[in-house]
Structure 1
Amino acid sequence: MEVGSQKPLSIRVVSDGRIGMENQALGLAEALQRLSPSEITIRRVKWRKAFDKLPSALKASWMLDPAGDDPFPAAGEPWPDVWIATGRATLPLSLMAKRRSGGKTFVVQTQDPRWRTGDYDLVVAPRHDGIAGANVLSITGSPHRVTPARVAEGAAAFAYRLEALSRPRVAVLIGGKSRAHDLPEAHAAELADRIATAIGDVGGSLMLTFSRRTPEAAKAAITARLSGLPGLIWDGTGANPYFAFLHYADQVLVTEDSANMAAEAASTGKPVQVLPMVATKPADKFGRLHADLRERGAARAFDGSLASWAYEPLAETDRAAREVLRRMGRV
């Protein structure tokens, strides 16, 4: 049956509300909506403090904090056609949804659940997580919300500031401290000097944004060394220029601590170079992701130059959405 001849899908997105987590599930839901008429609802859940650390196998829905959303339909309401969830907090809820709906709801979990992996209808996991199974779809990176249309839309508000910048325009996406990486001040200063030299050598311009995890000392060191370049360093106030940076960039430099930013940048088809950070523990997953991006022709390690190359933009979120529809028998 043609997708267009079927009734619209009802899709429920469930997460703990953290933006990076929610955007994975929401990005996949939006990709489904682009392929098949759909209505998306979002639920942000949290567990009562006393129960939050319990293993997923011991959690029950009455342990949910009423300050969060109720992820399940109210009495008399229909179950959604698709349930897309991400993160540890949602794991037991996803399996409850599958059971309580009587199998009517197609349950998708993003990321590696590390718990009862085979019990979800589909697990959409980054290839660098290294899991496999009949119900597992491995993709490069994680699902996300970056699309050509959204990037172009986000660029409009910044056109007056970015369109006239000298080319190549270099988007620099700086992360920060995490479980496996750090960005101490001295390393940040050295990195900034290398970036400044690379941009200066080609007469380009800078579009830089920090993350919430960027240490203040690192932020100050980078800003001090790069503020003399033509361009824009976003200070975190006002509208977020992230999509605009991706739109106007000729090159993207991204620190190695963020799998999301690297995969999102690779969806643009722009050359992506990975900036080194200080490792605080083995980061095999990040190494596997960057190897995956290199194999796809999308990314290289930053070597101090701004060489350009072409590759087919990654469209992994769309591929995952097509797989959901295929498994549901809607294509």
Structure 2
Amino acid sequence: MTLRFPVRQMHAMTPPLMPPADPTAGVIAEDFAGMKSQAFGLARRAGLTPVLCPVMVRPGWRYLPASWWPMPLRAIRPLQMPATCMGPSGVMISIGGTGGAVGAAMRARGGRVVQIQNPRMDLRKFDLVIANRHDEISGPNVVLSRTALHGVSPECLAQARRVWAPRLAHLPRPLVSVLVGGGNGRFRLGAAEGHALAAQLGRMIDCDGVGLALTPSRRTGVEVREILSHHLSPKGAWVWDMEGENPYLGLLACADAIVVTADSVSMISEAVATQAPVMVAALPGRSRRIGLFMQDLTQAGRIRVFDGRMRDWPVAPLDDTQAVAQEMRHRLNLK
């Protein structure tokens, strides 16, 4: 489907934790911010309280793709899972290839598992698979979305706006928020790219008179951060120094326009969930999946390529997370 818009003791598990009072979803994931953001966002939008059950792979097993593990629960350290998440009435959410391998093994032992992202294994091993259109998978238990899942809801943005609007009030309007990622296996963001981006952003400040607030991410290299700060701070831009409270949500909430680097589906997905037009700063590299993702959003009129100038056009928030969460509740018959 494409959206528009008593349990046996399990191997490699410690005794179940005492169940919390609220309905919970056990999140089977490696302890990475991007994965937690997607799984926690889905759970909360579905009215569940997410509990991270971190997957810690034993030494030696990382050299073998998780989908090849003959006994996934032997490949990880004991997984702690709330008792209410297990069995036919519980819910577990796995994400990524490693989480998916463990999630499939948990389902084989009697649990209900929702997988986020293409697990790169038989999709029938899960009760539900939630993936992006650009993953190019299909099946009776597959739900597809245009954007990555996340927790940037209107309520979350409103709360962040109340906190950050006074802190950013000294900057000129329109305010352009800049979200900077980092190099990965598909795109490059080193010193040369940092200089080019700084020049483009500086030109926008000079030519269009915008205020500019910029946040690097954990993946942004130190040299790139220094280049951006050195070039933009003298022009009156506010550049987060990675100290104190993270301004990310505040920049999303307060922006009149957003510039985001092309390396991150998650950051672009969160940006287009706001009411601001989103411009994507190109980076050297190539990814078929991210290309299809951006093509979809371009056709929807939600993003444009950043060319060093402020651009404004009518937009509406684009976020499939809530619809996906509702579909999950329907498919799993969650009360």
Length-normalised TM-score, structure 1: 0.87
SS of the counterpart of 2:62?
coil
Determine if the alignment matches structure 1 residue 137 to structure 2 residue 143: yes
Question: Which residue in 2 is equivalent to 1:91?
Answer: 100
Any unmatched runs of 5+ in structure 2? 1-20
Cα shift at 1:163: 2.6
In 2, the alpha carbon distance for the partners of 1:227 and 1:243 equals 21
> Against the structure 1 CA distance between its residues 18 and 77, is the aligned structure 2 distance closer, same or farther, given a 3 Å change threshold?
closer
SS of the counterpart of 1:303?
coil
> Against the structure 1 CA distance between its residues 322 and 159, is the aligned structure 2 distance closer, same or farther, given a 3 Å change threshold?
same
SS of the counterpart of 1:93?
helix
Amino acid at match of 2:31: G
Question: Which residue in 1 is equivalent to 2:58?
Answer: 48
- Are 1:206 and 1:229, in contact at CA under 8 Å, matched by a contact in 2? no
Question: Which residue in 2 is equivalent to 1:61?
Answer: 73
Deviation digits for residues 158-194 of structure 1 (CA, Å, limit 9, x no counterpart): 3332134211100111111100111232232122111
In 1, the alpha carbon distance for the partners of 2:140 and 2:211 equals 47
Cα shift at 1:199: 2.5
SS of the counterpart of 2:326?
helix
Deviation digits for residues 91-121 of structure 1 (CA, Å, limit 9, x no counterpart): 23212222222xxx43211111111123211
Cα shift at 1:278: 1.6
Q: Which of 223, 230, 235 is residue 224 of structure 1 equivalent to?
A: 230
Question: Which residue in 1 is equivalent to 2:315?
Answer: 311
Question: Which residue in 1 is equivalent to 2:38?
Answer: 24
Question: Which residue in 1 is equivalent to 2:331?
Answer: 327
SS of the counterpart of 1:160?
coil
SS of the counterpart of 2:253?
helix
In 2, the alpha carbon distance for the partners of 1:153 and 1:175 equals 24
Question: Which residue in 1 is equivalent to 2:29?
Answer: 15
Determine if the alignment matches structure 1 residue 185 to structure 2 residue 194: no
- Are 2:26 and 2:82, in contact at CA under 8 Å, matched by a contact in 1? no
1:191-202 matches, within 5 Å, as: 191-202=197-208
Question: Which residue in 2 is equivalent to 1:3?
Answer: none
Any unmatched runs of 5+ in structure 1? 1-6
SS of the counterpart of 2:46?
helix
In 2, the alpha carbon distance for the partners of 1:300 and 1:283 equals 18
In 2, the alpha carbon distance for the partners of 1:328 and 1:219 equals 45
In 2, the alpha carbon distance for the partners of 1:18 and 1:130 equals 24
SS of the counterpart of 1:219?
helix
Length-normalised TM-score, structure 2: 0.86
- Are 1:205 and 1:229, in contact at CA under 8 Å, matched by a contact in 2? no
Number of matched pairs: 313
Q: Which of 255, 264, 267 is residue 261 of structure 1 equivalent to?
A: 267
> Against the structure 1 CA distance between its residues 122 and 283, is the aligned structure 2 distance closer, same or farther, given a 3 Å change threshold?
same
- Are 1:111 and 1:142, in contact at CA under 8 Å, matched by a contact in 2? no
SS of the counterpart of 2:166?
helix
SS of the counterpart of 1:252?
strand
Question: Which residue in 2 is equivalent to 1:4?
Answer: none
SS of the counterpart of 1:270?
coil
Determine if the alignment matches structure 1 residue 124 to structure 2 residue 134: no
